[in-house]
Structures are given as C-alpha cells and as structure tokens.
Structure 1
Amino acid sequence: MGKKKKESATEKIERGIKELYSTEQRQLLLVTKIQRSNHLNGLNYYAAFNEDGVEIYQENKNATYNVMRADRFGWKEWLSVDVDHYTLKSNFLFKNGLDTWNLIIELKGKDVVQLIKSYTDIQVNDIPRPWYKKILGFRSGKKWKMVIASIVYLLILSSFISNFGNSGKQGTNSQSTTAATPASTQQTIDSTQQKVNTEEKKKEDAAKKKEQQKAIIQFEQELYSIEKPATAAGNRYKATAEKMGKGQATIYDLYEAASNANKQADKTRYAYSTLKVPEGLPADVTDMLKEAKSKLSTAYYTKSKAMEYAMEFIDSQKPSDLQKAKEETQMSDQFILAGITKVLEAKEKMGIPLDNKKQ
C-alpha cells in the first residue's frame, strides 16, 4: 500500500478556507493563491470568491483554519475590470470611475474571469497581448529585460543542443558536464528572474504607496472641509457677543447666533460620523484615521452641547450655564486637537510631509 501524498502548504490553506466557509454556512465559488505587495514578508495570500465579492486571506499558522481575513471587496463596488493574462499569472484591475483595485491571480486567472461573468454585472475587458509578450522577460517591453531574457534562453538552448549532441559519445566526464550545465543554467534563470521580480515589486510598491498617500491627503482635505460651516458659525457667535458688549447687537441677535452655531455643530458631528475612511490602506493607518474622525465627531458633539448651554445662559442668566458652556468648549478643543494629531500620525507613517496637504 503506497504512502499517502503529503498535503502541500497551498492545499492546506485552501482546505482551511473551505472549512471556514462551511462552518459559516456560506457558499465558496473559488479559492486561489494571489500575489500581494507585501508578499516578500514571507506570508502567502489567498483570494476566496463568493457571490457577494472577494475576501483576501493571509496565512496564519496560529489561527484555527491557518488563515485570517485581511480584506474584503464587494462586487457592487466595481463597474469594470481590465484583465491582462501572463504565462503564470493574471492581472485584474478593477475600476469604478474613481477608485481602482489591483488583484494578481496565480494560475487560475481564466477561471476568475468566467466567475466574474457568471455572477456579476462587471464589464470584463480582456487586454490583447502578442504571444511573445507573455514570455518572461518580454512582458514589459523594456529592452534591458528582453536582453537578459534572450541571454538566458540562449543558454538554455545551447545547453540542450550540447547535451543532445554529446549523448552516448562521452563517458563519465560527459555525464558530469551534462549534469553541471543545466544546474548552472537554472541558477542563472533563478537569479535573473529574482532581479526582474524585485524590480517589478519595487515599482508596484512605489505606485501603490503613492496612491495610498493621495487617498490620505484627500481624506484630510475632506476633514477640514467638513468643519468650515461650523467654524464660521462659531466665529459669528463670538463676533455677535463682542458687538453686544459694545451695544451694537441685541440679546436676540446673540441667541440666534448661538442657535445657528448649535445646528452647524450637530451637522458637522453627523458628517464626521458617516465619513468613510479610504480602503486599501495598512491596518494601523486605517485605525489612526478611524480614530481621527471619531474624535472630531465627538468634538462637535461637545461643541453642540456648549452652544445649548450658551443658549440656556442667554435665557436664564445663570452663571452655572455659562460655566458649563466654557467646559464643553474646552473639551471640544481637546478632542479636535486629538483628532488632528491622529491624522498627522497617519501621514508620518505613510511618509507624507506634514506641511504638505496636496500630493
């Protein structure tokens, strides 16, 4: 009785994802290994396809099913996808008019295309590619890569011809040379391919980081834009209070300014609470931005309360209401500072100059 075939690492991970889906009573359409920008950290990543979208799983030997969910993308988020098939991988660039998402599938690219056509309304655009551009080294069309690839392929061809011509004509020395030549050639191939992959990886990482930086800067600009109406209303309230002290405004003017500042603060609170953090960012950066908008939302909640106490003071003239208004205002300022600090931490983490709001 033969030995049972040992399960490969990929088979083990795919089995784990299937078991996870079975436990959660969800339908799994396809699971396949993918390439990610941070795959050089030694971890493997897999994509699990279902009727709702794609879930990205990261290898984790300490987890119950040897994987942990790292990301999720819904089909409804995308309008079209450009598909570029290579020899060993397929590049999927999803688009929705504003954002893009790049997914690199290993080996099962055509299966994924068929799945997208069957289960979604996403328009699939196959990018035509001449046969020679599917060959390793010729895909990018860059001369230096093509030269290196040509040299490697010539070495392989010459090695094959040499081995074929010398077959049966030489003894032990021939066998030794025959064994050594393919090994040397393979080392050259591996070394060359590693250099090409490293170069491509650096460019992919740089492009991805630039897109992430743009997303963070845009998010920061949205944060500042949201607060402008509330800031303007607060300034009008302060100006009206100063005018009232000089006899240039009435108590009714002050009450109306406080009421308007209260409404604008509440609108700002809601806008911050519903603002979405950009997708595709590192987990720690995402957490920073979520905390930033949470603190800003809380800041304008307390600012709204401050205006309520100010309105009560205008009505009652109780010193306690005025004191509460001051305390809520101070607390609001502290939350605003904490929120801005988190945004600056996220920018610093992503290498964005702190004095640069535009990328």
Structure 2
Amino acid sequence: MNFDIAYVSDNSIEETLRYKINNKTKPIGALGTLEEVALRIGKIQNSERPVLSNPTILVFAGDHGIAKKGIVNPYPQEVTAQMVYNFLNGGAAINVFCKQNNINLKIIDAGVNHDFGEIPELINAKIAFGTKNYESEPAMNARQYNAAIKKGADIVYQTHKEGCNIIGFGEMGIGNTSSASLLMSYYTKIPLQECVGAGTGLDSEAIKLKQKILSKAYDKYTLSTDTDALMYYGGFEIAMINGAILKAAELKMTIIIDGFIVTAALLAAHCTHPQVLDYCIFAHTSGEQGHQKMLDYLKKEPLINLGMRLGEGTGAAVAFPLIASAVAFLNNMASFETAGVSGSE
C-alpha cells in the first residue's frame, strides 16, 4: 500500500500555540512535558483548541512459528489464544485500564494459531494460523505481508470513521519479543545481543540461548529491501500494527506508542515514512531491555517509566490521562489577560 503522510511541521500554527501556552497563568515551561504534548497535538490537529475524540486502543494478536518449540519463550504458544479470550471476557490489565480511562478497546485476531469461530466482539483479520518459523524459512510471504499491512490500515480507517482521532496499539503473541529484537537490530543496526531481553520472564541462561538462536536466524537471510525484515522476522500482529500506524498518520490522528513490540513496528514504519514520528506520543519506557535503546535511536522521551513490560497496550492506556491533561490545560486554563494576573516582564 501507498501512504500519503504529511510532515506536521508543514503547518503554520506552532507560533500561535506557543504564544497561547506561554501566556497561561504560570511561569513559562512550568508544566514541563505537558506543554510539549499540548503543542504536538495542537499541531497535529492544526488547531488552537484540539479535542481528543473517541480514544481507542487496538490490540492485535498473532502467533509465531518459532514459539512452537518453547525455547525462546517461557510460556507455551497456547497462551496467545487464552489471553485473547481473557481480553474478550474483560479480565486483562488492558481491559481494566481502558475502562478506568474511558478508552474504547478493540481486539483483533491477526494470526492466532486457534480457530475462534464467530465471536462478535473479536475482529477477524486472520492471515494464517501463525507465522512460519524463521529459523528455517521466512515468517511470511509477500502476499501475507501485504494483506497484513492492508488489514491494519483498514481497521484504523474504520475506527477513524467512528470518530476516533487519538489511537494506541497493543499486541499479544507468545514469542513476539524475539521478532521485535530481530527487527530492532535490523532497523537500528544495534548488535542483536543488545536487543534481546527476558521477554515474558527468561532467566539469564535462557536469554543467552535465545540470543544464540536469534543470531543464527538473523544471519540466515540476505534482505534486499527494508520491508523484507518484516516479512522474514515479523509477526502478523507486528505487520498489522505497522500498517495501522501508517494509516493513522495519513489520517492525521494522534498516535500513542506503547512499548517494545509496538515500537518495533514503528521502526519499520519510520524507515519507509520518517514523517510518521510527527504524529507520535511515546507513552512509556518498557522494562524490556531493548526499548530504551529504541527510544534513544528515535531521539524520543516517553511520558512515564514505571518498569512495565506487559504489552497489550497497557503503557498507552496508563499514559492517556496525562495526554488528556495536556489538552485540558491548553483549552481551559486562564491566560494572564483573562485572569487579570500580571505576567512576566
């Protein structure tokens, strides 16, 4: 798919927004990062009075061929499907945080190795019953890759039509930290050993084995284009998030970037469309060891660092009230003029 994404910096409202922010009844810069968030959202919406409409988090679930062995992952592959049912039943952390913060939640089967049948609350976007094991063959073929990109984009388009202008992404997929580590190393050129972490709870010896297995997989292929990395090492859920991010940016939505897996999808999107960063707010620093290095590579500061490493979009959901606070002060806080307060000389 082709995406037409404009740089946010191309609009002319920044000076107006900065004046408005600086003339609130506070010292200049006193609200810290909230001021930068307000500025970014105002620029994205090209408005002095931005609004956050129908906030939504999309959770994409998919299985990975390498996880069938159970070597790079302490939990069995069946947990992916079990967690999808948990999402649908409202029992996961992402359900709790979305409900708390009035965020809509959609669950998508991108490629889980399970037949869910017809469940109205589950969006069926299944490409296949999991990817192939990239130890021996590419995770997906070109047709599957293109289908995943399109389905991610189409789901965002539909969500936007429902009135959403701020969107976050989550994921579920046993083994997907391995894919994200491979993608991180490819796109950032950071040595793979520095990209591989504990995932869902590997000990130090298991991490060393994971590094060894992934190093062999990484060296197995010669990639001819940047999109090959997603095809060879990615998961269906990661590819869909890539397409979803690109479509959200094309639609000028504010994008809340979650943790390690979602940022790996963003790295792929950024490689082909660097302007996508203009639409992103980085929610948190994941406890997964490679995530901070990803943020350093992108030169981005997250809103919070709580040591979270759950995935599911939980970092995005927890950070959302801070984003809402940024918009609230911009729209509702008095200026020196309206409050009759003397400003700085």
Task: Kindly name which structure, 1 or 2, has the bigger radius of gyration based on alpha carbons.
Answer: 1
- Which category describes the TM-score, using the shorter chain as reference length? under 0.3
Higher relative contact order, chain-length normalized (CA < 8 Å, sep 6+): 2
The normalised TM-score by structure 1 is 0.23
Higher strand share: 1
Higher helix share: 1
The normalised TM-score by structure 2 is 0.24
